Every structure is written in C-alpha cells, then in structure tokens.
Structure 1
Amino acid sequence: MNVRPWNRPLVVFTGAMILLTPVCLGGLVLDPRELGGAPIWAKPLKFSISFLLYAPTLAWMVSLVRGERAHRVASLAATVVAVASTIEMIAIVGQVVRGRASHFDVATPFDTAVWAVMGTSIAVLWVANLVIAIVLLRERSLAPSTAWAVRLGLLVSLIGMAVAFLMTSPSGAQIAAAQATGEMPTVGAHAVGVPDGGPGLALLGWSTTGGDLRIGHFVGLHGLQVVPLVALGLLLLAPRVAALRTELVRTRLVLVAAGAWTGLTLLLTWQALRGQPLLAPDALTLGVAAALVVGTVLAVGGVLSRAPRGDDREAVAA
C-alpha cells in the first residue's frame, strides 16, 4: 500500500502556528493590554495552540485516502481548510495589534468587514471538513478501528465546529441595547445569560458566572484528536490485553468512545445554552452527566464481556 505524504498546505500552516505560539506567549508577558476582561494576546494564543493540534491531525487523515480521485478531492478540501484557517488567524492577530476584538465586533465598517470575512472563513472551513469526512466515509483501505476512529473523529469535530454558529446571533441584551440606543456595536457572544468579558477561568476565559458556548465548541472540535488517540491506545494495549487483540473489539470500543465524546459535547453545549457555568452544574446537569458516564462504562463492559478468547480471536479476525 502506497504511503501518501501529508497535505503540504496544512503542514506549512502547522509550521506557522509553531512560530506564532511563542509570539503570543511573548505578547502575554510583554503587552499589558486587556480586551473583554482578558489579556489581549490570550485569544490568538488559544487559537494558535488549537490549530497546532488540529492542522497536523487533518493532514494525517487526508494522507490515509488511497484512491486517486478521492485523494485529489480530500487534498483540495484540506488546502481550503489551510487557507481559511490562515485568513482567520491573520484577522485575529491583526485585530489584536489594532486593540480591537476579532469576534462579534461591528462597531466600525472596518471591524464589520473583518468579522464578515472571519464568519465566511469559518463557514468555508466547516464545509471543507465535511467534504473530507465524506471522502473518508467511503475509504475502504483502512483497518475498521482506524477507519471508524478517523470518520467519527471528523464527525464529532464537525459538531463541535457547528456550536460556533450558535455564538453569532445577537443576544437579548444586545437587541435590547440596540432598541434603546439605536446602535449595536457587537453582534453575538460566547457567554449565555451574562455579558462577555465577565469573570472566567484563567487563560481559557470560560465564564464562571454564566453559560459559555466555547466549552462545547472546544471539546467537540478536539474529538478530531481524541477518538483516533483512543484507537491508537487500544492498538498499543492489544499485545498486553487479550480482550483487545481482535479488530472487532477495538472497533466497538472506538464506537463507544466516539459516542461518549459526542454526548459530552452535546451535554456541555446544552449546559451553556441554559446559562449555567461549567463549574456550577445543577442537579439535572449532574444527572445527565452521571447517566452518560454509567452508559459509557456499561457499554465498555458489554464489549469486553463479549470479547472472544483463545482460538476464537482468530475466527473473528478471519
């Protein structure tokens, strides 16, 4: 089987994020400015680290596509992702240099144009990821556990990305302020039930007084890494754990992991939409979280209890 190179534009973009990350760290140390109650360089730092994880993972996934036509489609989509991500980072860093918010800021025509470009790039990025996911859903050359880890990692990531679209609508407070003053300098928000820029977790900035849609967005987005890492971990454990030595068992556990991560993403998004801080869940949230944990444990136990033993492993593998 031919080994394809990783998508070059995504690799170049990863290199750019490697260079940008220490620049943002330097900005945190040397630039005292704040924006929205947080250090002004915190946002580009978070985005650069997130992209540093996301871009090489996607580049690797595209390299798994074997068919010539399918690989061309996936490579083109990956190149679109790299370009859209670059545009987004240029907008974020450029607004930091100007001392302006990159998200939701429509106070001036220029800021509105920047936000419109960013919104477009985010939508394009989502569609390009969807194209790659569809291509990999049709890929038949991979081992089942790897194939499903890649497919479901992408699909969970798409759900996480889609959470960002919930942030773009004007909040009730913004609509009320616009009706009272005739102006709406910001459209959309991360927080739910409280204004953006209030008390938040260190560096992450996630609200500690209200809901925050960034949490579900972050968790879902990085399902792209988590689900394939589960598949890799199971493969590495297989020589030592007899129950994991069949492809069928590892595939089922990957499905359970993807389901659990999807459930966690939806739970955190639902919690945020109810205006509830991450660290102050109510009884209903805790109950649903407990059900998710118990369901996941029971599913894992069920898979392992049905794992073949001894010679049965060879029969299943065959």
Structure 2
Amino acid sequence: MSLVHDRPRALWTGVRGWHRPLVAFTSVMCLWAVVCLIGLILDPRTLAGDPIWAKPLKFSISLALYAITLAWMLSRVQRPVLRRIGWWAGTIGAAASLLEIVVISIQVIRGVGSHFNVSTPTNQFFYQLMAGGVTLMYCATLVIGACLTMFSRLEDRALAWALRLGLVIALVGLSVGFLMVIPTAAQLADPTSSTYGSHSVGGDDATGGIFFLGWNTAHGDLRVSHFIGMHALQVLPLLAIALPRALGEADRLRIVLVAGATYAAVTAIALWQALRGQSVVHPDAITITAAVVAVTLAAISFVIIAVRRRHQLR
C-alpha cells in the first residue's frame, strides 16, 4: 500500500525539481487552453476563414509542450554553472512565451490578426512585440539545448542523440518562422499594404485552410514544416524513452538515428513543398516520390536493424 502512495509522491518530488517558471507557465497555458476551447465553442467569429480562437488554442498547447520539455531538459543539467545559465534562459523563455500568447490573445479579443498585422500603429507595435518574444524564445531553446546536449554528459546514448537531433531539427523548424516575416511581392508593390509577411507561398492567408490547423489548402504553407520541425524536440526524446531497454543500447541508438534522419527528411520535404507554392493536401508526383523514398529508406533501415538483432540473439 505504501508503495502505491509513494509513486505519485516520488513523481511530484521529481517535478518540483524542474525549472519552476517553466512549470508555472505550462500550468497557465493548460488553463488558458481550456478558456480558448470555450471561446472556440461559444464565439462564432472567424479570422482569415478560421475560428478566431483557434490560434490562441493552438499556441497554448504548443507552448505548454515546449515549456514542460525545456523544464525537463533543465532538470537533467548537472553542472552548477550550466544550471544557472539554463535557469536564466528558461526564465527568459517563459517570459517571452507569455508575452507572445498575451499579444495573440489581446488581438483575438480585439477581433484582429496578430501575425503580420501592420494596419495601424497599435497593431504594428503588438506585432513587433510578439516577434521579439519569438526571437527570445528561440535563443532560450538554443541555450538550454546546448547546456544539455553539448556540455552535459548523458549516460543513455540513445536519449542523448535523440535530444541532439531533436534540438537541431527543432531549431530548423523554428527558423522557418523567419521566412514568414519576409514580405511578399504583392506587399512590396503596395506601400499601403496592411500586412507584412505571410504564412503562405504563392497566395494569401485568407484562401482557406484545414480546420483548426489553418494550413492553406490552396497554396504552399510554411506553417507545416514549422510545426513538424519544432516538435522534433518532443517526438524524438519520447521515442528514446519509450524504446525498451531490452533492445540494448546499440539497437536503441540505431533506431533513434534512423528516426531522426527520417524526421529531418519529412521536415525538409514539407518545407520544399511549401516553398514551391504547393498545398500540403495537394502534393504533386515529385513530392510524393520524395516522401515514398524517405519512408522506404526508413523501413529498410529498421528491417536491417531487426535482422541484425535476430542474428545476434541466435
């Protein structure tokens, strides 16, 4: 009986040792996601063809995942100097993320767009404020990742490489956001344009999108690769943790490396597709071929790992 009661106590004790500002921010985002979900249900307003509360709901969920991941990463940093650097990076990252979601939510309440909106001095100020928050979050992720993956020793090689690959792919995915702020040709040609930058390539952001996600169904959309890439920092470490220890260190590492390479390929294909102005729901033969090649190579690699392991166990 005591063992049953000790398990949640031990889990709570472990979580209490995580970066408190990031854990607190995660809690706030979970609560705000519930509020946004209620708004999604009760508020009929739309923006650029999508429910107006969809964006803060998506960002709340995504930022919560990122914050708790960074808090967990910081809990594994051992050297005192790196822990102090990581603490400040995590605190700045939490504050920057809070600034971003506050701006997005204020603009939703006002009934206007937050991204790329320069229609008035107020909207332009909010957009620049949010962009500054995103940049700080990017830097915080880089610093925390470097503290753990470059300057800390992890005994689990599979997890160490999952974190390294996840960090690199995530930073690439986050970097796609910088492509979005580049003005389109139409915006450059119109000095009175109320927007500066776009999620879409080959069209505008108001031509229709996938429900909730909002990804453009008529043109290329940079948000696809942005989303896939940035969440490698959750997917790959979770894979490493989920792989049974019985597989052995070498095979767990091989699986993580193949998964990481495949994940990077999928992110690259999604970005390549968007830059060609092609919708994610209407891939052409070239895109399909690239995806099939990536999946096939991954499947062959996993088969080789399985055959090697079976041979070694004989």
Normalization by structure 1: what TM-score? 0.90
- Contact 2:166–2:260 (Cα < 8 Å) also in 1: yes
Which of 125, 131, 135 matches 2:147? 135
| Cα distance per residue 1:51-90 (max 9 Å; x no partner) | 1222111111111111111111122211111011000001
Per the alignment, residue 161 of structure 1 pairs with 174
1:216 has 2:225 as partner? yes
Task: Provide the rounded CA distance (Å) in 2 between the counterparts of 1:310 and 1:199.
Answer: 54
Task: Provide the rounded CA distance (Å) in 1 between the counterparts of 2:54 and 2:262.
Answer: 30
Distance of aligned partners of 1:141 and 1:224 in 2 relative to their CA distance in 1, 3 Å threshold: closer
Task: Provide the rounded CA distance (Å) in 1 between the counterparts of 2:259 and 2:87.
Answer: 27
Write out aligned runs for 1:7-26 (5 A).
7-26=19-38
Task: Provide the rounded CA distance (Å) in 1 between the counterparts of 2:261 and 2:127.
Answer: 34
What SS is found at the alignment partner of 1:101? coil
Which of 183, 205, 223 matches 1:170? 183
Deviation at 1:39, TM superposition (A): 1.2
Write out aligned runs for 1:250-289 (5 A).
250-289=252-291
- Contact 1:192–1:213 (Cα < 8 Å) also in 2: yes
What SS is found at the alignment partner of 1:306? helix
Which of 161, 176, 185 matches 1:148? 161
- Contact 1:210–1:275 (Cα < 8 Å) also in 2: yes
- Contact 1:28–1:42 (Cα < 8 Å) also in 2: yes
- Contact 2:89–2:140 (Cα < 8 Å) also in 1: yes
What SS is found at the alignment partner of 1:154? helix
Task: Provide the rounded CA distance (Å) in 1 between the counterparts of 2:50 and 2:313.
Answer: 58
Per the alignment, residue 301 of structure 2 pairs with 299
Between 140-149 and 89-98, report the one with greater CA deviation: 140-149
- Contact 1:66–1:141 (Cα < 8 Å) also in 2: no
What SS is found at the alignment partner of 1:128? helix
Task: Provide the rounded CA distance (Å) in 2 between the counterparts of 1:278 and 1:45.
Answer: 22
- Contact 2:48–2:208 (Cα < 8 Å) also in 1: no
- Contact 1:216–1:266 (Cα < 8 Å) also in 2: yes
Deviation at 1:151, TM superposition (A): 2.1
Write out aligned runs for 1:192-207 (5 A).
192-207=201-216
**CA RMSD, Structure 1 to Structure 2 (Å):** 1.7
Write out aligned runs for 1:109-128 (5 A).
109-128=121-140
Task: Provide the rounded CA distance (Å) in 2 between the counterparts of 1:12 and 1:225.
Answer: 19
1:190 has 2:183 as partner? no
Write out aligned runs for 1:52-71 (5 A).
52-71=64-83
- Contact 1:32–1:39 (Cα < 8 Å) also in 2: yes
Per the alignment, residue 45 of structure 1 pairs with 57
Q: Tell me, which stretches of 5 or more residues in structure 1 are unaligned? A: 312-318
- Amino acid corresponding to residue 71 of structure 1 in structure 2: R
Task: Provide the rounded CA distance (Å) in 1 between the counterparts of 2:307 and 2:81.
Answer: 42
Aligned length: 299
Distance of aligned partners of 1:97 and 1:211 in 2 relative to their CA distance in 1, 3 Å threshold: same
Per the alignment, residue 312 of structure 2 pairs with 309
Deviation at 1:310, TM superposition (A): 4.3
Normalization by structure 2: what TM-score? 0.91
- Amino acid corresponding to residue 43 of structure 2 in structure 1: D
Deviation at 1:306, TM superposition (A): 3.2
Task: Provide the rounded CA distance (Å) in 2 between the counterparts of 1:128 and 1:17.
Answer: 18
| Cα distance per residue 1:174-215 (max 9 Å; x no partner) | 223x1xxx3121000111111111121111111111111111
Deviation at 1:120, TM superposition (A): 1.2
Per the alignment, residue 5 of structure 2 pairs with none
Which of 7, 17, 40 matches 1:28? 40
Percent of residue pairs identical: 45
Task: Provide the rounded CA distance (Å) in 1 between the counterparts of 2:154 and 2:243.
Answer: 20
Per the alignment, residue 99 of structure 1 pairs with 111
Per the alignment, residue 315 of structure 1 pairs with none
- Contact 2:255–2:302 (Cα < 8 Å) also in 1: yes
Structure 1 runs (4+) deviating above 4 angstroms are: none
Deviation at 1:29, TM superposition (A): 1.7
